[in-house]
A and B are shown apart, each in its own frame.
Chain A
Amino acid sequence: EVQLVESGGGLVQPGRSLRLSCAASGFTFDDFVMHWVRQAPGKGLEWVSGISWNSGSTGYADSVKGRFTISRDNAKNSLYLQMNSLRAEDTALYYCAKDRGRSISSGQDYWGQGTLVTVSS
């Protein structure tokens, strides 16, 4: 059974940093593209970042480019999102999602339950 378990969320002050983690199990982690997708309270989905199986290709939403860094550790079956210079508008539930594809995307077929990040003073 595929499982994605996010952690690392919490309350953080504007301008500070936070690192999210996603522990994956039930599939061959290094065979797939992985993503972070967020959803602000009461709002729609926003794709945040994606990373290919070997970390050779990464992408970021314009709203987080230069502030967030996605990474993965295939030996640990883990996905990460380093979030720096956090802003109030980064407040959201952050989902880890597995893609159907390895180097190029083909839709996200499994999702975690999310970890909540609240940016507030």
Chain B
Amino acid sequence: AIRMTQSPSSLSASTGDRVTITCRASQGISSYLAWYQQKPGKAPKLLIYAASTLQSGVPSRFSGSGSGTDFTLTISCLQSEDFATYYCQQYYSYPYSFGQGTKLEIK
């Protein structure tokens, strides 16, 4: 099974900051990677698929990059509504797997 490792596990930042979250796969997954945002008590929301394609309706301050084993999610100018937990997920092969999550908190 492919293991997904995110870093950092938690991150403190301020509104207006640029933040980057990384995700590493234990083996190559091409660009079969998605990023999700989850707020407390809510279902996850798809932000990016195919490593870098923005899901419809997602603000352009979110961007993704990478291929193979190393990926990043960048939020260019943090807004108050962006404080949440972020997960990467590989869908290259079954069983699919999520990273452990990165909790983005207000500094």
Q: Which residues of A contact B (CB under 8 A)?
A: 35, 37, 44-47, 50, 59-62, 65, 95, 100, 105-109, 111-114
Q: Chain B interface residue count: which class?
A: 20 to 34
Q: Which residues of B contact A (CB under 8 A)?
A: 1, 32, 34, 36, 38, 43-46, 48-50, 55, 85, 87, 89, 91, 94-101
Whether B55 and A107, one on each chain, are in contact in the complex, defined by CB atoms closer than 8 angstroms, is yes
Whether A47 and B55, one on each chain, are in contact in the complex, defined by CB atoms closer than 8 angstroms, is no
Q: A44-B85, A95-B43, A113-B43 are in contact. List 9 more A-B contacts (CB 8 A).
A: A44-B87, A44-B101, A46-B98, A50-B96, A62-B95, A95-B44, A107-B55, A108-B46, A114-B43
Whether A109 and B46, one on each chain, are in contact in the complex, defined by CB atoms closer than 8 angstroms, is yes
* A and B contact pairs by CB, cutoff 8 A, 16 listed: A44-B87, A44-B99, A45-B38, A45-B44, A60-B94, A62-B1, A62-B95, A95-B44, A100-B46, A105-B96, A107-B46, A107-B49, A107-B50, A107-B89, A109-B55, A111-B43
Whether B91 and A107, one on each chain, are in contact in the complex, defined by CB atoms closer than 8 angstroms, is yes
